[in-house]
Amino acid sequence: MNDITAENPSFDWELCGLLHNKIIDIGWAAGGYSETHDHRSWWEYHSTSHSLDGHTCHVHNQPLSTNSILEQLEQRLPLDLIKFLKLAKNCDSGGPFCFIFADLCRPYEILDYLDAANPFASILAQSGGAYQICLYRANLSHGIGILFNIRTMGAFTLYCVEDQPGYGLPAGMIIPLETILSGLLDMEKEKRIEAAGSQLHPGTGKPINPGKWSWNTRDNPEVITPKTVQAWDSLLDAIEEKNPTLRHEQCKVGYPPEALSSAGLCTFWVEHRFIIEFLSSIRIPNFKYIAPGLRLPTSAELMNQPFGDQQKFRRRLDPPTQVHVFPFVFLRTDQPVPMPPYGWLSPQWAKVTQNEAGLYLNSMYGYPDGCRLFLPIRVGENGWAKKGDLTKFKPGGMAWSWYNIFYDGLYQPGNHSHIFRYPALSLERLLTNWTDMVKNGHWNVGPDGVSDGIEKFKEADTEEKWRLYCIQSLW
């Protein structure tokens, strides 16, 4: 996983071409014909295909052949981008390029962006987004895709116009294209997304649509769970290194199955599998506090889940046997969340009587290890705290908050993910951040673990320390 670091990114056209082609090969392999497929590059495919001849140029109002458009692109696009388009394989109608990205844009679409000839390109140019072209189209209604700035040679993902009011790009969010392509491969490697071939005919056992594939999210955590357990062990090791008296050779491993079952978790449901496997595998230390004001629950406390009552909280969906996926509170605080004066944003929380603060495990599409820290204190009102996309906490709108962004916005990725439109905070990343906080002495360790109180998290809203509490990531 690559962090977002580049302010003025460079463009490694050869690396981008190789990463692009590796993603294409994964889709072709899923479709079942990677060896016999047309391996022409995007440039070669369009220069020899006449299916788009006759496209009307919006600027000059005259038809242009595909080859004449390519000639214009070769004159107007940077040389390295041309080299990339001559190396990157063309993706045909067998399936999308990867996940929500359909394909590289067609030649006339890129030309329209250069000429600000479509409505979005025109608005983008007027609002300071000149020299942006759409390089990869999003496979969404009203979708945009991966924008590429031909002057800075950096990239930015915009899923649809509504995602970016004013069309301005957040500072620090222009990154190298290879970082986005690498992130897609990282998600595939962790089995968060997967290319799948056509379904098989129940009678013949042959593909219904041979040569077709799709990209889907996965909730099976076989890769994610071991990495997260390792991150947990690293956090406990860091705490014990700061206070060696906390280290004991004999430690309990995992919560008992009956506690997990009584908490509302079911091994039958893949959506529950990560939480069950994680809580069954982690080392239970001989101290309580894992982070400031956040303590490990006892087995009895673990069974007491605010949303565990299926009859009360299950959504009214068909079929009635649909899995009950609910926010699962793991680490606890000793303070309740204040009742909001105007009601809960989430209908689930409107039925809660406990208002329990803590670290919630919250499985989402592509994120069986999703989590959210729900604090009993407000953080972010000073304007220094940032989400993972470097935007400030703002209540309402697209905050995706259960209650109020100032209570549950800390560590959240934000809405400007380059790869996944609605990302969740990965538990592994949160634990890794906490490990660094302990190792580097930002958090104190006492006889019962981390000794700082819950108020320590208010450091996230200060000029000096907000960066310590901001987890930047691609997805």
CA distance 87 to 249: 56
Q: Are residues 18 and 67 in the same domain?
A: yes
Domain-embedded: residue 142: yes
What are 76-125's pLDDT values in tens digits?
A: 999 999 999 999 999 866 678 888 888 999 998 898 888 877 667 666 66
CA distance 153 to 180: 13
Strand partners for 62: 57
Domain count of the chain? 2
CA distance 264 to 405: 27
Domain-embedded: residue 237: yes
Measured in degrees and rounded to the nearest 5, phi and psi for residue 131 equal 70, 15
Q: Are residues 234 and 204 in the same domain?
A: no
Last residue of a domain, one of 190, 217, 244: 217
Q: Are residues 274 and 319 in the same domain?
A: yes
Strand partners for 468: none
What are 233-270's pLDDT values in tens digits?
A: 999 999 999 999 998 877 889 999 999 999 888 877 77
**Binning pLDDT at 50, 70 and 90, where does residue 316 land?**
very low
What are 58-77's pLDDT values in tens digits?
A: 555 667 888 889 999 999 99
Cβ contacts of 56 within 8 Å, gap of 6 or more:
62, 63, 64
Q: Are residues 38 and 147 in the same domain?
A: yes
What are 321-340's pLDDT values in tens digits?
A: 455 567 899 999 988 877 65
pLDDT at 169 over 70: no
Note if the bond before 202 is cis, omega within 30 degrees: no
Domain-embedded: residue 2: no
Residue that has been written with the tokens 């320590």 in this structure: 456
**Binning pLDDT at 50, 70 and 90, where does residue 5 land?**
very low
Long-range pairs of 158-167 with CB within 8 A, sequence gap ≥ 24: 159/100, 159/421, 161/120, 163/398, 163/415, 163/416, 163/421, 166/127, 167/123, 167/124, 167/127, 167/129
Q: What is the dihedral of CA 188, 189, 192, 194, to 10 degrees?
A: 40
Q: Are residues 163 and 273 in the same domain?
A: no
CA distance 322 to 275: 18
Q: Quote the domain boundaries for residue 56.
A: 13-217
Rg (C-alpha) for the chain, rounded Å, is 25
* Global pTM value: 0.84
Q: Are residues 24 and 133 in the same domain?
A: yes
Last residue of a domain, one of 184, 217, 250: 217
Q: Are residues 53 and 174 in the same domain?
A: yes
What are 177-220's pLDDT values in tens digits?
A: 998 999 999 989 988 888 887 666 566 656 656 667 778 877 77
Domain-embedded: residue 249: yes
Q: Are residues 157 and 180 in the same domain?
A: yes
Strand partners for 252: 284
CA distance 452 to 377: 15
Supply the angle between the helices 13-31 and 177-189 in degrees, to the nearest 10: 30
What are 351-360's pLDDT values in tens digits?
A: 565 578 899 9
Which letter, b or e, does each residue of 323-346 get, where b requires 16 or more Cβ atoms within 10 Å of its Cβ?
A: bbbbbbbbbbbebebeeeeeebbe
Q: Are residues 343 and 247 in the same domain?
A: yes
Contact 111, 72 (CB under 8 A): yes
Q: Are residues 264 and 397 in the same domain?
A: yes
How far, in whole angstroms, is CA 446 from its chain's centroid? Answer: 35
What are 363-417's pLDDT values in tens digits?
A: 887 888 999 999 999 999 999 999 887 888 876 544 455 557 788 889 988 766 7
pLDDT at 150 over 70: yes
Tokens of 168: 């301005």
pLDDT, position 472: 84
Last residue of a domain, one of 217, 249, 279: 217
Domain-embedded: residue 64: yes
Average pLDDT in the 408-431 region? 84
